[in-house]
Amino acid sequence: MKELLAGPALFGAALAAHLVLWRVRLPARQTRALLALLAALPLGALAASALGVLPLPGIEGLAPHIEAGLFVLAFALAYIITYSGLEADSPTLVIVLAVDSAGSEGLPMATLDTTLSDERLLLPRLRDLLRDGLARMEDGRYVITPKGKRFVRIFSLYRRLLGLERKGG
Amino acid sequence: MTVLAALAPALALGANVLSQIAIVRLRGGRGLLRSVFAGCALGAFALGALYLYADSSAGHAALGGLTYLALSYGYFHFINLGETARRIRLLRELRDAPGGLTYEELRTRYGARAMTRVRIERLLASGQIVERGGRYAIGRPVVLAMARAVRLAKRVVLGRESEFC
């Protein structure tokens, strides 16, 4: 029974630490910090325990360590993906909330053009690309970096695997 | 517990992914969302079969089930990012322009109007919003429920409703 709790307990402790630390100071690179706190640290602890360096109480043998590690990894990634979605405003959800707030009268089509401007939809995402080193500025032009190329290749290859032609977005 | 049982959620995710790819390719790239749900269901079936084969206890199967759902959730979002994420679309535009692009050039290729139009078309196609006499109204309230949940989560986790607050 104790070995079933190892994964949830480790992830729960990491999540509690995240909620406390984020109140003290917001990291500049939040995704990177979350990966370290929610995934790398607990997985490191499990690896050390599996190797007998720092055994965790109530969990013995390779299989329970793998089980706990998969749980931690799955929930860490799920949380980080969800958190990234919270940081930036989703245009789709903004549209739906704007339509809903117009009530039974409905929202005039032209209203969305004012609400969803380039300043709100385009500029912040370009800033994100620069901040994360996926693009850089060169003589007033946005240029993709090698890191950006590697990143987008993953999604392009996968879309080709799925047989999807359109660019998305 | 055996190593096979411990790895079952990851193996089930593999079954999920392979079947999802096969389904969407057989349909010529159409029905992406349905293929994701179908893949998830097939993966869950594979997970159950693996636990039966490994004779796992109910507790391990339940924990593994939760792990598999979290992995499937992550996979869904990975596909969704490729389909809808602005950053990835912007990177594709930059990748296809070796000399780079100015802000104005990016606005022309993929500015707010294009972003909004694509999303409205998606919402209309799925019935989440409807058009009546030049105005939009809520249709099926599924995405609206998600929007309200996300707005609440932003308030709780980030202490604000919008990145522009």
Identity of residue B163: E
- CB contact under 8 Å between B120 and A95, yes or no, is yes
Q: What is the pLDDT of residue B56?
A: 87
Q: How far is B19 from chain A (nearest CA, A)?
A: 11
pLDDT-derived band at B97, boundaries 50, 70, 90: very high
Which pair of tokens denotes residue A157? 């290859």
Q: What is the mean pLDDT of residues B106-129?
A: 89
pLDDT, averaged across chain B = 90
pLDDT beyond 80 at A112: no
Compare CB distances from B88 to A113, A120, A152 and report the shortest one's residue.
A152
Q: Nearest 10 degrees: CA dihedral of B27, B75, B92, A148?
A: -150
A113: closest chain B residue by CA: B113
Contact assessment for residue A63 and residue B8, using Cβ atoms and an 8 Å cutoff: no
Angstrom distance (rounded) from CA B120 to CA B124: 6
Cα end-to-end distance, chain A, whole Å:
46
Residue B26, chain A, CB below 8 Å: the answer is no
- B3 and A121: CB-CB below 8 Å? no
Distance from the B124 Cα atom to the nearest Cα atom in chain A, whole angstroms: 11
Assess B157–A contact: CB distance below 8 Å, yes or no. Answer: yes
pLDDT band at A138 (very low <50, low <70, confident <90, very high): very high
Distance CA(B36)–CA(B78), nearest Å, equals 11
Which of A8-12, B79-83, B157-161 shows the lowest per-residue confidence on average (mean pLDDT)?
B157-161
Per-residue confidence (pLDDT) for residue A72, from 0 to 100:
97
pLDDT at A165 over 70: no
Q: Long-range contacts for A152-160 (Cβ within 8 Å, ≥24 apart)?
A: A152/B88, A152/B91, A152/B92, A152/B95, A155/B81, A155/B82, A155/B88, A156/B92, A158/B78, A158/B79, A158/B82, A159/B82
| Confidence at A101, pLDDT banded by 50, 70, 90 | very high
| Nearest-neighbour CA in chain A from B24: distance (Å) | 6
If you average pLDDT over residues B76-100, what whole number do you get? Answer: 89
Find all residues with CB under 8 Å of B120, minimum gap 6, and list them: A95, A112, B129, B136
pLDDT tens-digit readout, A50-85 = 999 988 888 889 999 999 999 999 999 999 988 887
Query: Are A90 and A81 contacting, i.e. CB atoms less than 8 angstroms apart?
Result: no
| Closest residue of chain B to A132, computed from CA coordinates | B87
Nearest-CA residue of chain B relative to A112? Answer: B116
**Chain A residues touching residue B131 (CB < 8 angstroms):** 109
Section B30-49 average pLDDT: 91
* Chain B positions in Cβ-Cβ contact with residue A9 (cut-off 8 Å): none
Q: What is the structure's pLDDT at B73? A: 94
Q: What is the per-residue pLDDT for B164?
A: 66
Written as six digits, the tokens of A88 are 């930036």
Q: Which residues of B touch A157 (CB under 8 A)?
A: none
- In total, the C-beta contacts within 8 angstroms joining chain A to chain B are 247
Q: Which residues of B touch A148 (CB under 8 A)?
A: 91, 94-95
% chain B with pLDDT above 90: 55
Interface contact B94-A143, CB threshold 8 A: yes
Per the CB < 8 A criterion, the answer to whether A64 and B56 are in contact is no
Contact assignment for A163 to B106 by CB distance below 8 Å = no
**CB contact set of B140 (below 8 Å; sequence gap of 6+):** B126, B127, B128
What pLDDT, on a 0 to 100 scale, did the predictor assign at position B165? 58
Q: What is the pLDDT of residue B81?
A: 83
Q: Which residue of B has its CA nearest to A99?
A: B137
pTM of full prediction above 0.90 = no
pLDDT reading at B41 higher than 90: yes
**Mean pLDDT of all residues in B138-156:** 88
Which residue in the set A7, A108, A167 is minimally distant from B135, CB to CB? A108
pLDDT confidence of residue B115: 85
Quickly state the pLDDT bin for B5 (edges 50, 70, 90): very high
Q: How do A135-138 and A107-108 pair as beta strands?
A: unpaired
Give the one of A62, A109, A143 whose C-beta lies nearest to B134's C-beta. A109
CB A6 within 8 A of CB A68: yes
Tens of pLDDT, residue by residue over B63-74, are: 999 999 999 999
Q: Is B144 on the interface with A (CB under 8 A)?
A: yes
- Alpha helix segments (H runs only) across A102-167: 109-115, 118-121, 123-131, 146-161
Residue A19 burial (CB count, 10 A): 9
Q: Look up the ipTM and state it.
A: 0.83
Judge: B137–A104 Cβ closer than 8 Å, yes or no.
yes
